[in-house]
Amino acid sequence: MRELIIDGELVKKFNPVHLEHHEFLPIAVENSRLITARSPRAVSNHEFIRNVGQLTTGYDTSFYTIQSELLKHELKLIKQGIYHRMLVSEKQNVVAPRGNILSVISNKGGVGKTTVSIELAHQFARLGLKVLLFDLDLGNADVSNKLKLFPENTLYNFFNKQVELDDLVVETEYGFHFIPGECGEFKLANMTWSQKQRFFRHIQNISFKYDLILFDLGAGITRHVIDFALMADDSCIVTTPNDIISGYAAAKAAFGRFVEINSKQTMSEGESREYTYSPWFILNQVHNIRHGNNLYQSLKQTIDQHVNQNSVFKITPEYLGSVVSDRDRLVDTYAKREIIGLRHPGSELALNYQQLASKYIGSGLDEDYVKPQRGSGLKRFVRMLGITSKF
Ligand X SMILES: Nc1ncnc2c1ncn2[C@@H]1O[C@H](COP(=O)(O)OP(=O)(O)O)[C@@H](O)[C@H]1O
- The side-by-side arrangement of strands in the sheet containing 177-179 is 170-171, 177-179, 131-136, 212-217, 100-105, 234-239, 280-286, 318-324
Q: Which stretch binds ligand X (CB under 6 A): 17-25, 122-130, 202-210, 321-329?
A: 321-329
Please state the length of the chain: 391
Give the 3-state secondary structure of residue 337.
Answer: coil
The verdict on 106 binding ligand X (CB under 6 A) reads yes
The verdict on 109 binding ligand X (CB under 6 A) reads yes
Task: Give me the helix-helix angle, 376-385 and 223-231, nearest 10°.
Answer: 140
For the CB of residue 317, give the shortest distance to ligand X in the complex, in Å: 19
Identity of the residue numbered 102: L
- For ligand X, the closer CB: 118 or 212: 118
Binding partner selected for residue 111 from Mg ion, ligand X, none, CB under the kind-specific 5 to 8 Å limit:
ligand X
Strand partners, 170: 178
DSSP state of 241: G
For the CB of residue 121, give the shortest distance to Mg ion in the complex, in Å: 13
The verdict on 115 binding ligand X (CB under 6 A) reads yes
The verdict on 358 binding ligand X (CB under 6 A) reads no
Give the 3-state secondary structure of residue 375.
Answer: coil
- For ligand X, the closer CB: 11 or 104: 104
What string marks each residue from 38 to 77 as x (binds ligand X by CB under 6 A) or -? ----------------------------------------
> Which of 2, 91, 161, 327: binder of ligand X (CB under 6 A)?
327
For the CB of residue 118, give the shortest distance to ligand X in the complex, in Å: 8
For the CB of residue 44, give the shortest distance to ligand X in the complex, in Å: 26
The verdict on 240 binding Mg ion (CB under 5 A) reads no
Give the 3-state secondary structure of residue 144.
Answer: helix
What string marks each residue from 154 to 193 as x (binds ligand X by CB under 6 A) or -? ----------------------------------------
The verdict on 239 binding ligand X (CB under 6 A) reads no
**Cβ atoms 175, 122 nearer than 8 A:** yes
User: Which of 228, 146, 226 has the alpha carbon at shortest distance from 195?
Assistant: 228
Strand partners, 28: 35
**Cβ atoms 25, 48 nearer than 8 A:** yes
The verdict on 323 binding ligand X (CB under 6 A) reads yes
Provide CB contacts within 8 A for 268, sequence distance 6+: none
CA–CA separation, 108 and 284 (whole Å)? 13
**Cβ atoms 363, 371 nearer than 8 A:** yes
The verdict on 113 binding Mg ion (CB under 5 A) reads yes
| Helix, strand, coil percent values for the chain (each to nearest 5) | 45, 15, 35
> Which of 103, 325, 355, 358: binder of ligand X (CB under 6 A)?
325
The verdict on 234 binding ligand X (CB under 6 A) reads no
CA–CA separation, 69 and 193 (whole Å)? 49
> Which of 98, 113, 344, 383: binder of ligand X (CB under 6 A)?
113
- For Mg ion, the closer CB: 218 or 362: 218
The verdict on 351 binding ligand X (CB under 6 A) reads no
Q: How many CA atoms lie within 13 A of 351 on its CB side?
A: 13
The verdict on 355 binding ligand X (CB under 6 A) reads no
The verdict on 326 binding ligand X (CB under 6 A) reads yes
The verdict on 333 binding Mg ion (CB under 5 A) reads no
**Cβ atoms 128, 176 nearer than 8 A:** no
The verdict on 112 binding ligand X (CB under 6 A) reads yes
What string marks each residue from 261 to 300 as x (binds ligand X by CB under 6 A) or -? -----------------------xx---------------
Number of residues that bind Mg ion (CB under 5 A): 3
Give the 3-state secondary structure of residue 63.
Answer: strand
**Which residues of this protein are in contact with Mg ion, per CB under 5 A?**
113-114, 142
Residues that bind ligand X (CB under 6 A): 106, 109-115, 142, 219, 284-285, 323, 325-327, 330-331
